[in-house]
A and B are shown apart, each in its own frame.
Chain A
Amino acid sequence: MSTTTPVLDEPVAEAAPAPLARRTGRRRRRVRVNLRGLAFAVGLLLVIEVLTATVITSLYVPRPSEVVHALWLELQRGDILSGVGTTMGAYARGLGIAIVAGVLLGAALGASRTAWELFRIVIEFLRPLPSVALIPFSILLLGVGSTTTVAMIVYASLWPILFNTYYGVRGVNEVSVDAARTFGLKRWQVFLRVQIPSAATNIATGVRVSSAIALILVITVEILTRSGGLGYYIVRMQVAIRTEDMYAGIVVVGVLGYAIAMLMGALERRLVFWNADVLEDGNR
């Protein structure tokens, strides 16, 4: 059991693929699934289209075709795209800082039992605190702008990375550490060569979880502070009751979220490939 490490806030263990599917070849299966998924999504949109055209005639529920049209116009005008630029800029900076800080802090806490004992209570208290509650503080202290946005992203996405790194470093098999020591590696060498690599899968999980949290935070801060970006775009359209444009903005946020999730999954499979069997077997 010493090699098993708890993975925190794992949203969903990779769905256990059917054994049969693996034999039929991965690429073909993926294409087929996407087609079916696409068919369902398109069908759902068509149903909503018909419903909104006939039964539901609320101003606040536009027809999907109107939303697509609005999205097309807005993309040409460039309003949404500049919003995406602002949002993703803050997102990348915040998540980048959080990854570096989270891995360093988590590794330090994992390496030294004393450090963990000292900071345990503070960390455990701060982690479940809903990060959005700090936004009003951040506005007072840092003002409205990208500093606040980035600071909030860093704060919120730090925790999953920090904790996963900590548990990864802590959960390293004692035997491998002892073996490395026997071979004459120094303590810091053991740390770099044994503990960090075997914590990499946990770190990757933490980064994946944080990549979703960071998006939530950036949109929230932009909605609350109206400091530009996609979140601000959405609220602006809401206030102007340009409902189609508002939905178009939300669709873009969804696409961003989906793209980030896909990208993180792909990166994880590529970077920590030695964990592939773990991922594919579902339950460890």
Chain B
Amino acid sequence: MMNRYVIATGRRLVPWIVPVTLLVLWEYAGRHSESIYLPPLSDVLVTLRDDWMWERTRTDLLPSLERFALGYLLGAVLGIVLGMAIGSSRRVAEYTTPTMEFLRALPAVAVLPIAVLLFGLGDGMRISIIAFGVMFPVLVNTIAGARSCRQERIDVARMYGLSRLQVVRRVVLPSAIPMISAGLRVGLPIALIMMVVSELVGGQNGIGFYLIQAQSLFNISGMFTALIILGVLGNVINNTYAWVENRRLHWASHL
């Protein structure tokens, strides 16, 4: 009885062996190495407490998150609305899809210099570049999702007297939602990347700005804390989305 309990706990501990070992190694190597590039873990944690509780959270993390949210929302809404408009008509979709595919294949960072010229080095530039990065995956997925709706369903709905707009809202949109959701999921890491990149370029605040500031001051612990914050942020965002998608879109798992 006791034995089985020990084995069960042991098994649950297995995933923690490597992370804990790595952290211990980090602390040990940091204490004993001469390199300034490897501050011990404890120093990093002290910096984490000093900087991010809560002064920098207010001045850097929150503005970053705000731009992330605004840019992501803007890109997602534009992508879905445009995508539905394009995808609801086979003809429009045939004409526009290659152009949209081209724009999707264009890395958003390459557009960053245009955004800098047009909007300067402010929030407008950052939000618009995040939105640009998010919009095209969502747009292309929405088109594909709308196109995946069976023609018979649309015809039946038309026969029952629904107007064109009603058909789009009641028939095409629901069947496009799993694909839209996939596009929204792809957009999340892109938005996070564009958030950081846009702040690395001449920012006034934000996590990316903190990172580049720490780099120029050779504040290596500071750089590590930015990485930790971003890692946690990426995990929280991804997992939250997966959780929501799981709960709200469980009906689509067979599609």
Decide yes or no whether A192 CB sits under 8 A from chain B: no
Hey, which chain A residues are within 8 Å of B200, CB to CB? 132, 135-136, 224
> Which B180-199 residues have a C-beta within 8 angstroms of A?
182-183, 185-186, 189, 192-193, 195-197
A117-B14 contact given A122-B22, A124-B235, CB 8 Å threshold: yes
Against A, the Cβ 8 Å flags (1 = close, 0 = not) of B205-242 are 00110011011001010010011001100110110000
Decide yes or no whether A175 CB sits under 8 A from chain B: no
Hey, which chain B residues are within 8 Å of A246, CB to CB? 113-114, 117
Whether A13 and B182, one on each chain, are in contact in the complex, defined by CB atoms closer than 8 angstroms, is yes
Task: For the complex formed, measure the closest distance between the CB of A123 and the CB atoms of chain B, giving whole angstroms.
Answer: 10
Decide yes or no whether A105 CB sits under 8 A from chain B: no
A260-B105 contact given A13-B182, A129-B234, A133-B211, CB 8 Å threshold: yes
Partner of A247, one of B114, B137, B141, B143: B114
Whether B94 and A36, one on each chain, are in contact in the complex, defined by CB atoms closer than 8 angstroms, is yes
Partner of B227, one of A33, A127, A129: A129
Residue of A nearest to B213 (CB): A136
Hey, which chain A residues are within 8 Å of B161, CB to CB? none
Hey, which chain A residues are within 8 Å of B212, CB to CB? 136
Decide yes or no whether B101 CB sits under 8 A from chain A: yes
Whether B114 and A129, one on each chain, are in contact in the complex, defined by CB atoms closer than 8 angstroms, is no
Against A, the Cβ 8 Å flags (1 = close, 0 = not) of B106-134 are 11111111101110000000000000000
Against B, the Cβ 8 Å flags (1 = close, 0 = not) of A228-270 are 0011001101100101001101100110011011000000000
Decide yes or no whether B67 CB sits under 8 A from chain A: no
Partner of A130, one of B118, B215, B234: B234
How many angstroms from the CA of A135 to the CA of B207 in the assembled complex? 14
Hey, which chain B residues are within 8 Å of A135, CB to CB? 200
Decide yes or no whether B17 CB sits under 8 A from chain A: yes
Residue of B nearest to A61 (CB): B118
What interface size band does chain B fall in?
35 or more
A130-B230 contact given A37-B95, A261-B101, CB 8 Å threshold: yes
Whether B235 and A128, one on each chain, are in contact in the complex, defined by CB atoms closer than 8 angstroms, is yes
Residue of A nearest to B224 (CB): A137
Decide yes or no whether A215 CB sits under 8 A from chain B: yes
Most A C-beta atoms less than 10 A away, residue of B95, B148, B179, B195:
B95
How many angstroms from the CA of A256 to the CA of B223 in the assembled complex? 33
Whether B107 and A253, one on each chain, are in contact in the complex, defined by CB atoms closer than 8 angstroms, is yes
Decide yes or no whether A34 CB sits under 8 A from chain B: yes
How many angstroms from the CA of A220 to the CA of B218 in the assembled complex? 22
Whether A220 and B17, one on each chain, are in contact in the complex, defined by CB atoms closer than 8 angstroms, is no
A11-B186 contact given A36-B94, A250-B106, A254-B103, CB 8 Å threshold: yes
How many angstroms from the CA of A120 to the CA of B99 in the assembled complex? 40
Whether A12 and B192, one on each chain, are in contact in the complex, defined by CB atoms closer than 8 angstroms, is no
Task: For the complex formed, measure the closest distance between the CB of B166 and the CB atoms of chain A, giving whole angstroms.
Answer: 23
Partner of A133, one of B16, B108, B114, B208: B208
Task: For the complex formed, measure the closest distance between the CB of A170 and the CB atoms of chain B, giving whole angstroms.
Answer: 16
How many angstroms from the CA of A249 to the CA of B111 in the assembled complex? 10
Against A, the Cβ 8 Å flags (1 = close, 0 = not) of B11-54 are 00011111100100000000000000100000000000000000
Decide yes or no whether A16 CB sits under 8 A from chain B: yes
A11-B141 contact given A141-B37, A212-B105, CB 8 Å threshold: yes
A136-B211 contact given A37-B99, A122-B22, A130-B189, CB 8 Å threshold: yes
Decide yes or no whether A174 CB sits under 8 A from chain B: no
Decide yes or no whether A188 CB sits under 8 A from chain B: no
Partner of A41, one of B98, B230, B255: B98
> Which A171-195 residues have a C-beta within 8 angstroms of B?
none
Decide yes or no whether B57 CB sits under 8 A from chain A: no
Residue of A nearest to B19 (CB): A121
Hey, which chain B residues are within 8 Å of A241, CB to CB? 117
| 27 A-B contact pairs sorted by A residue (CB < 8 Å) | A11-B183, A12-B141, A15-B148, A34-B98, A37-B94, A37-B97, A38-B98, A40-B95, A117-B14, A118-B14, A130-B195, A133-B196, A133-B211, A133-B230, A137-B223, A137-B227, A216-B107, A219-B110, A223-B201, A224-B201, A230-B110, A246-B113, A246-B114, A250-B111, A258-B106, A283-B148, A283-B255
What residues of chain B have their CB less than 8 Å away from a CB belonging to chain A?
A: 14-19, 22, 37, 90, 94-99, 101-103, 105-114, 116-118, 137, 140-141, 143-144, 147-148, 179, 182-183, 185-186, 189, 192-193, 195-197, 200-201, 207-208, 211-212, 214-215, 218, 220, 223, 226-227, 230-231, 234-235, 237-238, 255
